[in-house]
A and B are shown apart, each in its own frame.
Chain A
Amino acid sequence: MLIGKIVSSSSHVEYLCQVYGVGEAEPAPMPADYGFGTFVAIEESDGAELIGVIYDTTLMNPEFGSLGPRLSPQEDLRVFSPDYLSERVTLVGVVALGAMGPDGAVHQGVPAVATTIDARVRCLDPDEIRAFHRVDGDRPGSGLQLAYLPMLTGMRSPLTPYLMLDVIARVMRLFPEEAPRLALLSDNLAWKARVEPVG
């Protein structure tokens, strides 16, 4: 399901996605579709995709601050100035966690190639999330991987610890057999995110 398009970036891995408004996509994305911690794919032109997660949400409203009376009532704006209304948008921050090639090859961590403006962003379904987190092969460490977590810890956002907790919780639901390992990570993060800062 499409939820928006890339409109800006603040680093090689942090992108700003403008959520599609009414009429821009069918069906129109609902807030639950682009919630905090949602796994998304940013479509590339060559069929590859950057895999990311939503880590922040900003509501843009040009009307905020203009508290004076308006000549046109709110209802008439829809008819006479629809472009004005379309300036109200929801922006979500997406941090790229890795990439999936057209052949399904998974790379976790900083992607080699950045995406482009207007690249489409869609939600990942559970099977795609599983595929992104499973590294196959006989080499040590094959199986479930969250190799992007160390990269997340370097982000400046105060929401980062909670993002990591949310990501681990989502992955745990998809990989119940890995619960002990994930719980260990989660417990440690929860202690640092929830108990230590308050003490």
Chain B
Amino acid sequence: MSQTTQRLSQFVQAYREVVILLVLGVACAGFYFAQPGDINRFLTIDNWRVIAVNISTDALMVVGMTLVIIAGGFDLSIGSTVALGGIIACKLMVGGVPILLAVVAGLLAGALVGAVNGFIITKVGVNPLITTLGTMIIVRGLCLVAVQANPVTGLPPSFAKLGETMHLTASFDLPYSVLLMVMTVMAADVLLRHARFLRQVYYVGGNEEAARFSGINVDRVRSFTYILTGVLAALAGIVNASRLISASANAGERAELRVISAVVIGGASLAGGTGTILGAFLGLLLVGVIENGMEILRVNIYMKNVVMGTILILAVTIDRIDWPMLKRIGRWFKK
């Protein structure tokens, strides 16, 4: 018996992605059969397109955050960087700067936030949680100062097009943001599995000393993860701005919580050294599907937080379940 549970927890650890897919399948079946009325509204192409669009910008941040967390770090500042990227790109556009240039400037602003995070964490040696908590507040403040709480509007129509969809066939169209998400997640997943430079994040997060002795520039790898996350967060902000045809100082609110939850559900450990991008993406998809399903089931809005928090806790405990633990729980209940 103890072997079975051990094997089970090993399986969960080794095939995290498969386990999430199974949970996803169960959740989908549940929502499909539980939905009110006679009409199927959950398993439709339209609804899944909405789910995909809804998670598309969070997915960009999930890619960066996975690398940060694998390397043993943490980044709370992404939500604020979403607002910064959107505001800088949009302000420049409205001021007449060519769209491409404005977008690049927005991304550079995100890179700058990441570089500051990386510098303070690796060179000054401040804890990542504290550092990025600080930059989160500073960057949000800068956004508010820059726009004085007025949303940036009047964006060029060709920029707004990016937030729309690409018609593939008469009945099927693919939103650009979803295309961007799929390409980014796939590329990053393959690179993290095979590219030498990216694989270093596992060594840095797994055993920093060993990584240092084997000649890895630990600080550089760490800083890189923060800069990449900053760029991706800014990109998320720019994509959102094109979808909403405006950029505001409170964009990306709570994004850090959603993204970190997804990465952890996807199997990454905050201790560093483990996690995959595919897993984190599936974690995000699971969160997105459950949020959507709860809307369709008309679940009380205040109940949603309880559900989402419970899923997070379940996700991090599932691979710790073994026979001794079950016995402990059993004994506790007998008392």
- Judge: A and B partners, yes or no: no
Q: Which residues of B contact A (CB under 8 A)?
A: none
